[in-house]
Structure 1
């Protein structure tokens, strides 16, 4: 493949492939993402009961996601750094509008109806929050001083609270994790981490009794003992475990999963799609899927390690670790190791806003790696 040599301001030559230099795409990351997307469409075709019309909807959404990836890959990181406060401000305004005039669906007020489609502003905050916290801490001391640390914590707490009020606990957890990852990578002191753990322990009972909804408390109790309500709150976990166990080592084969095809697995095309994978492709298939996810995370962390600016390092590391949390929480949720919080499996679960957000984040990651000139 043809390679193009770029020079940074220090005179160091950086050799990039044509794909990186002209299209600003990273070949390793792009290949892994395409593999996940193709596999996801195949799994959803089975989960939908071989309904081609619904599968086509996912293909369209995947295409939009890759278009978002390409667009964001063209934006130089220095531009994102300038825009970060304004993107965050826009996200906050949209979250406030959701609280005032958001569309209510399935007991939650999370969406804005724009006429031709519904938009979930909390998805924008998955990008806006790490952007603004990285912008805040990019030039900070290591570890950051108390003033900047407290300001960063305030920037994390406010949108997380607004999202939890919708209620959307899964997205709130991800947004909070993204903000804290930036703080962690910026070198926050151990006393802050210890203080946060103590504060969480003190406030947990208050959150349980006064902040959490009944169905959220039921999810935690079901996680502890799903058999206490096998036909109600525990049904999802029990059926998911049955599907995972019945898949064995090699699975029953694509389109042959009885739990999925007979619709025993609830939300089999969204939150619990990994149970379909386990039943039809077995432990070997799940292990291979997780290996591809690890390639994505590992490549993202490598991009963070070689980034030429602290803002880029913080942002790239946070995107990679947040994606890891996506996979970890969904896998733990489906297997009964974590409470159900409603997080999709990235690039596999059926979805729109979440998929586009994830792909936009990977576009930013590719932009960080391919716009390799040092900033003036």
Structure 2
């Protein structure tokens, strides 16, 4: 059963899973049943991975349109009848409480990969416009909830497909230049833009506060800046080799908020130091490179676009999480793959990696 699987990719994921279990045991030691639950979530993700990997990519093509349609319909239903918690309407009761936006993390790359395969050999600028519309509909609905972190993940997953499909650099470079100029303007004019009377219009107040806190967390060290400051203290105090397993003072004295979920990277860095961080980054990079190799060798346009998007989306999870904990990106609710606690995120990762393994497996079967 394992003979046609991509063994290097499996080994990379196994290393990440091991690091995740070790870190969760320490970070969640006095946090209820987090360690046991994390292990259960990993087993569920592994089961989903191996099950989805048995499906040929041709079956995945058939799921694209129905899954995308169901996801968008559920997002509309969430906007109309959803459950509101802490000011956000992200959940829907359909007998069980679900978060429909999670579906789009998988459905979006599937849908766009299906669209570009359908247009293979006859791509026109209009086709990229249709792909952009298909992407912006769910992204807009998720941002309206509001859920900036999930909307960015859906947006990035779709943009990766559009990029791999052959979007012209004449379009990409101006957008990147404008984005860089906007970030530079925010950094230069940070003090003025972050004054209470300035309305950013496009972003909600809490999103504005996250950006302003990133620029200067010391303005509110016991409030909005507390997460970033404590995360940076924990990372820096780890030194070269770390304080040792179960010896993290910031972690076990509960200075790190959300130490088993979004900020678990701070707990990991404190106990395993620079050596542990480099090991983790090297493992994520290995998985990234292996995923891109699978994409490059995929037998069809659909497989190639889907594998490339899922691989870069996986890496985006890791990059954004480590960046926000390190104080170089705004704080958003994005977990660190296989390290952070979270059942829904683990199931999504299992689905994505199962699809990637399906593509790798189909390539191996065709070669033999």
Alignment of 1:122-201 (within 5 A): 122-140=101-119, 144-194=123-173, 196-197=175-176
Shift of 1:34: 2.2
**Root mean square deviation of aligned Cα:** 2.1
> How far does residue 201 in structure 1 lie from its aligned partner after superposition?
8.2
Give the deviation of 1:211 after TM superposition. 3.0
Deviation digits for residues 52-82 of structure 1, max 9, x if unmatched?
Answer: 6221111111111111111111111011112
Within a 5 Å distance, the mapping from 1:72-91 to structure 2 comes to: 72-91=52-71
Report deviation, 1:199: 7.3
Any stretches of 5+ residues in structure 2 without a counterpart?
187-198
Q: How much has 1:142 moved relative to structure 2?
A: 7.1
* 1-structure distance, mates of 2:159, 2:121: 15
Match of 1:70 in 2: 50
Q: Deviations over 1:274-320 (max 9, x none)?
A: 00011000010011011111111111011001111111000001111
Q: In 1, Cα distance between the equivalents of 2:307 and 2:138?
A: 21
TM (norm. structure 2) is 0.90
Contact 2:265 2:336 in 1 (8 A): yes
After superposition, the C-alpha distances for 1:165-193 in whole angstroms (9 at most, x for unaligned) are 11110111111011010011011112322
Q: Distance in 1 between matches of 2:178 and 2:270?
A: 41
Deviation readout 1:127-164 (Å, 9 max, x if unpaired): 10010101111243579311110000001111011111
Q: Deviations over 1:105-130 (max 9, x none)?
A: 23322122355x53221111011001
Q: 1:218 aligns with which of 199, 209, 219?
A: 209
Contact 2:240–2:275 (CA<8 Å) still a contact in 1?
yes
How far apart are the structure 2 equivalents of 1:243 and 1:150? 45
Cα distance in 2 for residues equivalent to 1:202 and 1:147: 28
Give the conservation status (yes or no) of the 8 Å contact 1:256–1:280: yes
Q: Please, which runs of 5 or more residues in structure 1 have no aligned partner? A: 1-17
* Pair 1:61-2:41 in alignment: yes
CA distance in 1 between partners of 2:136 and 2:3 (Å): 37
3-state SS, counterpart of residue 201 of structure 2: helix
* CA positional deviation for 1:28: 1.6
Q: Partner of 2:2 in structure 1?
A: 19
Flag the 1:263–1:362 CA change in 2: closer, same or farther, 3 A.
same
Counterpart in 2 of 1:320?
311
Query: Matched residues in 2 for 1:51 and 1:201: separation?
Result: 41
d(CA) in 1 for partners of 2:45, 2:299? 27
Which residue in 2 is equivalent to 1:43?
23
Q: How do residues 1-376 of structure 1 correspond to structure 2 at under 5 angstroms? A: 19-21=2-4, 25-51=5-31, 53-115=33-95, 118-140=97-119, 144-194=123-173, 196-197=175-176, 209-372=200-363
For these two proteins, the number of residue pairs brought into alignment is: 351
Alignment deviations for residues 308-357 of structure 1 (CA, whole Å, 9 cap, x no partner): 11110000011111111111111111101111122110110010111110
1:251 counterpart SS class: coil
Structure-2 separation of matches of 1:90 and 1:20? 35
Provide the C-alpha distance between the structure 1 equivalents of 2:182 and 2:234, rounded to a whole number of angstroms: 37
* Deviation >3 Å, runs of 4+: 49-52, 139-144, 194-205
User: How far apart are the structure 2 equivalents of 1:312 and 1:173?
Assistant: 23
